[in-house]
Structure 1
Amino acid sequence: MLGLIQWLPDRRVNQSLSDAGIVFPSFNVLGEKLQSCSAEPLTGWFRDGCCNTDRSDRGLHTVCCLVTDEFLEFARQQGNDLITPAPEFNFPGLKAGDRWCVCAQTWQDATEAGVACPIVLEATHEETLQIVSLETLEQHTD
């Protein structure tokens, strides 16, 4: 197995290996090891505290945000209510100041609407760069 890992052409998870339960480290937009976004409230597509992603994450929940009231209201207007608690999903609801992994496109849309919240580059997954430029992300760092 070690030989297989050494020849992988890039850092992205090889999906067939991932499907087999073999997981490689995730990287952030800076090319470094992905850092935790939040354990309280527990965030992430996998609810592991990190903005990790895989093929099943169609929303690409990869941007670690420090949410603001303006951003939360924008997301609600777009049909994504992050404010209202949903106990059936163990979701406490968010308030300004919480860190949360949000969809890259939602964050990009918020940027274009002038309500983007600050982000944490070290905890923002590299897959975000499919949608948002590093330059734009750097303009909104926490």
Structure 2
Amino acid sequence: MNTPESTQKNVFGKPLKPCCLQTATGFFRDGFCHTVEQDTGRHTVCALMTADFLEFSLSKGNDLTTPKPEWDFPGLKEGDRWCICAARWNEAFEAHVAPPVFLEATHHETLNIIPLAVLQKFAVQ
């Protein structure tokens, strides 16, 4: 299977890589952390889910673990990749529970909220 390509850019200014193709993540559910003006949450950070982050998100009123088939949402578990909101990642960072990120799959719009130097400290391959 060929990996789809994106015309949008990652935090390095290169073509955005897919975040997860097994589970359709992202604002468009296309596997990428693509964004447009209508994506008011800015689902631009490709993150590796951790138990701490999932618990933190739940405490903020966003249950990411319960499947919601009507929204094409499978429910997440530790180890899954998912495009999360840049502001929520930043909140988690401030609370010391930020999940690891895949920089090549994180949209450059994220840099309007989170500095690259901060993201790089949480980078995984």
- TM bin, normalised by shorter chain, reads over 0.9
Is the deviation greater in 46-55 or in 81-90? 81-90
Distance in 1 of aligned mates of 2:22 and 2:41: 22
Partner of 1:133: 115
1:20-78 deviations in Å (ceiling 9; x for gaps): xxxx8100001110000001221010011000000100000000000101001101111
2:82 paired residue number: 100
CA distance in 2, matches of 1:41, 1:47: 8
Query: Aligned runs of 1:1-142 on 2, under 5 Å?
Result: 25-142=7-124
Could you say what secondary structure the match of 1:37 adopts? coil
Task: Give the match's secondary structure for 1:34.
Answer: coil
The TM-score with structure 1 as length reference comes to: 0.82
Tell me the amino acid that sits aligned with residue 84 of structure 1: T
CA shift, 1:90, in A, is: 2.0
TM-score (normalizing by structure 2):
0.93
Superposition RMSD on alpha carbons, in Å? 1.0
SS in 2 for 1:101: strand
Greater RCO structure (CA 8 Å; 6+ sep): 2
SS in 1 for 2:78: coil
SS at match of 1:63: strand
Q: Which runs of 5+ in 1 are unaligned?
A: 1-23
Higher helix proportion (structure 1 or 2)? 1
Q: State the one-letter code of the partner of 1:27.
A: K
- Report SS of the residue matched to 1:56: coil
- Provide the rounded CA distance (Å) in 1 between the counterparts of 2:71 and 2:38: 18
The amino acid of 2:63's aligned partner reads D
Structure 2: where are the runs of 5+ without partners? 1-5
| Distance in 2 of aligned mates of 1:41 and 1:93 | 10
